[in-house]
Amino acid sequence: MIGRRAFLRRSGGTLAVGAAGAALGMGWTRSASADCTGATITDGVLSRFRSRIQGSVILPVDTQYATARLGFNRRFDPYPVIIVRAAGTADVARTIEFARTNGITLAIRSGGHSYIGASGGSGVVLDLSAMNSIASLGNGHFQIGAGAQLQQVYGALRCQENMTIPCGSCDTVGFGGIAQGGGFGYLQQAHGITLDRVRSARVVLADGTVVDASPEADADLFWAIRGAGGGSLGVVTDFTVEAVPYKTIHVIGWYWPLASAGEALDRFASLQESGAVPRSATVALVFNNGAASLAPAQCVCVLFSTGTLAEAEATKQLFVGPGGIRATPGLGFQYDADSPACDPHAVAQRDYYRAKSAIVYGQPAADTGDYLRYWLERRVADPMFSPSDSATVNFLTFGGAVSDVGPSDTAFPHRDALLEVQFLGYLQNPTTQSIRKNQAWIQGLYADVFPRLSVHGEGCYVNYCDDDLTEAQWTSRYWGANYPRLQVTKRRVDPADFFHGKQTIRL
């Protein structure tokens, strides 16, 4: 495999890469230069490829390139040599063949939200965003194109059959990425994670073979696709899912002062561990530096319930009623949501951020809340961060329907967990110094808190992938005991490791 710069160097490099990374070459490449030891692509090869693609082929000289090359996280600034916006499975197979035979790396993109920029890169980007159709198959089953964004999925399931699916909270995340790694969200206690609702997946393998993986056909690949995360095994073009009946989600939120962080986390984890929180409710505990609301740093607890309003209110009382912690008076909110997305009216915009995760298998160490408070207050006090450089540590209850499935029943191993956690540090206007500070901040926070969350076992979420982890860490924390079986599947379906990326399954 060669990357874009090496590829250009080898091929004579008529496509110039400026200091800022701008690719403004006049045309494509010509013939091999003297140091060429591998592939070259001529204009003829490219135009033949282009003529066989039904979708669009976007080159650095094309006007759409400037936006088409970008993913969600502003931390990454990729300059792919070609972007192929596929129109169907045949385009996918042709693009794989083109990249493979010409020795160019390939990155697959559905929604472009990879935390480590894995769907960008310098080779070919296979963009599935146009493969976003959603069709009812009857009986509560739907076929969902990998490129569909969550807002389209929620909208179509609701309009077509008054149904929904447990999935993530951000409207613009791609179904193709989230469904292969897990799919955490506000319906998980009631209905499990997204991949638990997947009944089959169409996958184009490295050799161009198209497999409809299901319990009946290539059950092993079907097992692996549900938890491996994207990018390792093949290109999933469509999923068949079994949806769940739509129910109004009652959302009730309250605030606790950051001074109660320790108590809040203890109450939250203890209630979840005791089984007192009903399956109809998934609960989030969010510690933040107050930047988003420009209010003081705080803890916000939010209950998402598909039970009756009375049941939701009774669940809230477990947290703030007798024996609980008094909520900050005068603050709080309550509304009914019509999808599991955070805010259906939010305008999705690209963000600059660093993220980390933890899967929590039992009660965190008693002083965890103190450390969370320390790191959030330290960020607030640091003049390097602007008041709008938000930071959060979000806990979400696990268990319920997530743990109805066994740790080795799918490739997603964290079935016995109590909570999952995400750490995020955002920058509004990143500078060299604030980027360094933000990185040091999140690494320091994580160094203190991750061990305290991991006293009963370690884990991280493959969809909140983290490029600070070593290979030994990401393989064991994402997949645990399922990793060896994933490697066996990888060797079978992709023996040459064509689908190779920063944190893909190794041979």
Ligand X SMILES: Cc1cc2nc3c(=O)[nH]c(=O)nc-3n(C[C@H](O)[C@H](O)[C@H](O)COP(=O)(O)OP(=O)(O)OC[C@H]3O[C@@H](n4cnc5c(N)ncnc54)[C@H](O)[C@@H]3O)c2cc1C
Under rule CB under 6 A, residue 390 binds ligand X: no
Choose the binding region for ligand X from 74-82, 113-121, 261-269, 469-477 (rule: CB under 6 A): 113-121
Taking the complex as a whole, the smallest distance from the CB of residue 310 to ligand X amounts, in Å, to 27
Residue closer to ligand X by CB (options 349, 432) is 349
Under rule CB under 6 A, residue 41 binds ligand X: no
Q: Which of 114, 122, 394, 489 binds ligand X (CB under 6 A)?
A: 114
Under rule CB under 6 A, residue 413 binds ligand X: no
Taking the complex as a whole, the smallest distance from the CB of residue 76 to ligand X amounts, in Å, to 10
What is the residue whose two structure tokens read 């109660």? 260
Residues 294, 264: Cα–Cα separation, whole Å: 21
Residue 425 is inside which H or E element, if any? Answer: strand 419-427
Choose the binding region for ligand X from 180-188, 207-215, 284-292, 361-369 (rule: CB under 6 A): 180-188
Under rule CB under 6 A, residue 124 binds ligand X: no
Residue closer to ligand X by CB (options 92, 327) is 92
The token pair that represents 169 in the structure block: 């909270």
Q: Which of 55, 123, 155, 183 binds ligand X (CB under 6 A)?
A: 183
Q: Which of 15, 23, 107, 206 binds ligand X (CB under 6 A)?
A: 107
Residue 301 is inside which H or E element, if any? Answer: strand 298-305
Residue 158 is inside which H or E element, if any? Answer: helix 150-161
Residue closer to ligand X by CB (options 175, 450) is 175
Q: Which of 86, 146, 320, 445 binds ligand X (CB under 6 A)?
A: 146
Taking the complex as a whole, the smallest distance from the CB of residue 279 to ligand X amounts, in Å, to 19
Number of other CB atoms surrounding residue 262 within 10 Å: 17
Listing DSSP states for 466-493 in one string gives -TTS-HHHHHHHHHGGGHHHHHHHHHHH
Choose the binding region for ligand X from 14-22, 154-162, 177-185, 316-324 (rule: CB under 6 A): 177-185
Under rule CB under 6 A, residue 400 binds ligand X: no
Under rule CB under 6 A, residue 128 binds ligand X: yes
The token pair that represents 444 in the structure block: 């320091």
The token pair that represents 373 in the structure block: 């408070």
Under rule CB under 6 A, residue 72 binds ligand X: yes
Q: Which of 236, 243, 312, 505 binds ligand X (CB under 6 A)?
A: 236
Under rule CB under 6 A, residue 243 binds ligand X: no
Encode burial over 339-378: b for 16+ CB neighbours within 10 A, e otherwise. Answer: bbbbeeeeeeeeebbbbbbbbbbebbeeebbebbbbbbbe
Nearest to 234 by CA among 211, 217, 253, 250: 211
Under rule CB under 6 A, residue 119 binds ligand X: yes
Under rule CB under 6 A, residue 307 binds ligand X: no
Q: Which of 75, 94, 113, 414 binds ligand X (CB under 6 A)?
A: 113
Residue closer to ligand X by CB (options 25, 117) is 117
Nearest to 506 by CA among 460, 466, 474: 474
Under rule CB under 6 A, residue 192 binds ligand X: no
Sign, CA torsion 484/485/487/488: positive
Choose the binding region for ligand X from 38-46, 78-86, 105-113, 374-382 (rule: CB under 6 A): 105-113
Under rule CB under 6 A, residue 185 binds ligand X: yes
What angle, rounded to 10 degrees, do the helices at 483-493 and 471-479 form? 100
Taking the complex as a whole, the smallest distance from the CB of residue 349 to ligand X amounts, in Å, to 10
Under rule CB under 6 A, residue 425 binds ligand X: no
Taking the complex as a whole, the smallest distance from the CB of residue 170 to ligand X amounts, in Å, to 3
The token pair that represents 347 in the structure block: 């305008």
Under rule CB under 6 A, residue 170 binds ligand X: yes
Under rule CB under 6 A, residue 231 binds ligand X: yes
Residue closer to ligand X by CB (options 298, 394) is 394
Choose the binding region for ligand X from 15-23, 102-110, 359-367, 428-436 (rule: CB under 6 A): 102-110
Residue closer to ligand X by CB (options 173, 213) is 173
How are beta strands 333-337 and 249-257 bridged, if at all? antiparallel
Under rule CB under 6 A, residue 227 binds ligand X: no
Residues 415, 124: Cα–Cα separation, whole Å: 36
Q: What are the distances in angstroms from CA 451 to CA 399, 458, 459?
A: 21, 8, 11
Over 224-274, what HEC string results? HHCCCCCCCCCEEEEEEEECEECCCEEEEEEEEEHHHHHHHHHHHHHHHHH
Taking the complex as a whole, the smallest distance from the CB of residue 299 to ligand X amounts, in Å, to 19
Cα–chain-centroid distance for residue 229? 9
Q: Which of 11, 169, 188, 363 binds ligand X (CB under 6 A)?
A: 169
**Under rule CB under 6 A, which residues in 258-297 are in contact with ligand X?**
none
Under rule CB under 6 A, residue 118 binds ligand X: yes
Residue 355: partners with Cβ closer than 8 Å, 6 or more residues away: 115, 422, 423, 424, 425, 442, 464, 466
Under rule CB under 6 A, residue 121 binds ligand X: no
Confirm if 449 and 371 have CB atoms less than 8 A apart: yes
Binding site for ligand X (CB under 6 A): 71-72, 107-115, 118-119, 128, 146, 168-170, 173-174, 176-178, 181-185, 230-231, 235-236, 463, 501
